[in-house]
Amino acid sequence: MDFKRLGFSDQLSQYAASPSKKVASGWWLAMAATFVVASLFFLNSSVKIPFLFPAFQGLNSLGSRNSSSERSHLYWPFSFSPVSSCCSGAGSGDGSLMDSEGRRTGGIVDTHFGNFTENPKNESFDSKEEENPRKNYSQIGRSESFSNVIDKGIVSFEIRKNESVSGEGQNGTNAQNGTVDLLRMEMNFYKKECDIYDGEWVRDDTKPYYLSGLCPYIDRDFDCHFNKRPDDGYIKWKWQPYACDIPSFNSTDFLEKMRGKSLVIVGDSLNRNMWESLVCMLRAGVHDKNRVYEISGRSKFKKKGFYAFRFEDYNCSVDFVGSPFLVRESTFNGVNGSFETLRLDLMDQTTPMYNDADIMIFNTGHWWTHEKTSRREDYYQEGDHVHTRLKVLEAYKRALHTWARWVDSNVDPNRTQVIFRGYSATHFRGGRWNSGGQCHNETEPIFNKKQLAKYPSKMKALERVIRDMKTPVVYMNISRLTDYRKDGHPSVYRAEGHNGVHAQDCSHWCLPGVPDTWNELLYASLLKSGRGSWAN
């Protein structure tokens, strides 16, 4: 038969007339269809991109319904910063989320949102770096990207071909081509994998939470703009964790969660730096500024003492207690007269000022490098014994154990949340704080990780102390993120004017500035802890 003369329907009728041909062709068609369906299902399941094959989206959702790490929709009652901001960092020219060696670069392992210590025996405080757990995951190529859409509290994600990474939030829309880790799509903010202290500084040209001229409570020594610092680049950097996005600071939400409660920041002048920043950030969200005031009417806070800001509309207070060592400064009557000592075995006498606070934020460290402590001779006291010589680090450890015992004995963990802010890096060149050290003319952060200092021994000691405590403690591990910011100090732009080139401040931070980031991380840490009024 000449098939060339038959139409398409006639050719089919020839096969229909032959039972054997019908069975054979049907079997091959069934096999081909099965192979196509199986291929599509395998590709859709492995890539996890439902919009490629919508017919299988339900299967993916069904298989991951009980897995929090594979949800396609997550709910958060607050806004996140744009995901795209991670890809525009000065430290990652190709948009990569990992360093050149494929390792995590921030702080220590397992300080995820501050090492919650409810189960201290199972927690690791190893300070060694580990391989980045994300480095073996597939990544979206440069021709693909994702965007996040936040609408009515629902965060959804959609992947588009041949578009740049974009994210739209309260600060506008940003776009940047780059390689984006697939895990970032899931915004693992609440997951242990998200260490908010492991990240990089990225450029951010949006305005700060408050302006120096609009917050009257900034210490003159911290107000670099008022002291005529000529550049403003130090306020145009944002901390971006590698593994997730942190929520933008929401002053109204913070104050609402603090309604009827008290937050007390205890420590040295670096914690006062943080406290003034927090007061200004919260005050910026209050409509009637007259309803925010220091209860004693003071507006200068350099003297050691107790200061309390009242937020009248929320019946809450944000306080500062000066206690640079946390333990007690004392005197000892010796054979040759009395002399100053530091009681490593007793808490400072300021504890009654904050023992009933709902949130306690501690720090100590900078004063342990001052002349009296660094001499190590006839200064540290325990009981009636004054150590003729004791290494500073050993004395610091003993003081921390005294603090830990006080917390475990006096704090109700069901009512009070305890936080310890880690050591803030200094950037003195050519000398120490009292011997001509300088940091002026610095206008950019450090971008080369090899220039960063080693992780402080004092913070390693702190981790071990926290690990053994009964009370859960959030550790704000800011040491590394502050080490990048050599540009953020007041340097010569202090109240004394520019004559103090040889007495520069390379320890404290300009406000607005780096401490605002600490308070962003504080807000994120409290949200992640989810305790009491901070539960979602």
Half-sphere exposure (Cβ direction) of 262: Cα atoms closer than 13 Å: 15
Label residue 260 exposed, middle or buried (CB < 10 Å: 0-12, 13-18, 19+): exposed
Structure tokens at 95: 């948009």
Query: Cα angle vertex 163, ends 157, 167, to 5°?
Result: 45
Which residue reads 């600490």 in tokens? 518
Q: Which of 248, 269, 491, 507 is catalytic?
A: 269
428 contacts: CB under 8 Å, gap ≥ 6: 437, 438, 439, 504, 506
431 contacts: CB under 8 Å, gap ≥ 6: 437, 438
Of 72, 89, 96, 226, the closest CA to residue 157 belongs to 72
Structure tokens at 225: 């703009």
What is the sign, positive or negative, of the torsion defined by CA atoms of 425, 431, 436, 437?
Answer: negative
Q: Which 3-state string (H, E, C) describes 52-93?
A: HCHHHHHHHHHHCCCCHHHCCEEECCCCECCHHHHHHECCCC
Our answer to whether residue 223 is catalytic in this structure is no
Q: Which of 505, 507, 516, 525 is catalytic?
A: 505
Q: Helices 269-283 and 514-529, interaxial angle, to 10°?
A: 80
Our answer to whether residue 427 is catalytic in this structure is no
Torsion of CA 475, 273, 86, 105, to 10 degrees: -50
Our answer to whether residue 508 is catalytic in this structure is yes
β-pairing, 165-169 with 144-151? parallel
Query: Contact at 8 Å (CB) between 465 and 400?
Result: yes
Torsion of CA 488, 489, 491, 493, to 10 degrees: 80
Q: Which of 85, 323, 508, 516 is catalytic?
A: 508
Structure tokens at 277: 């920043």
Active site residues: 269, 505, 508
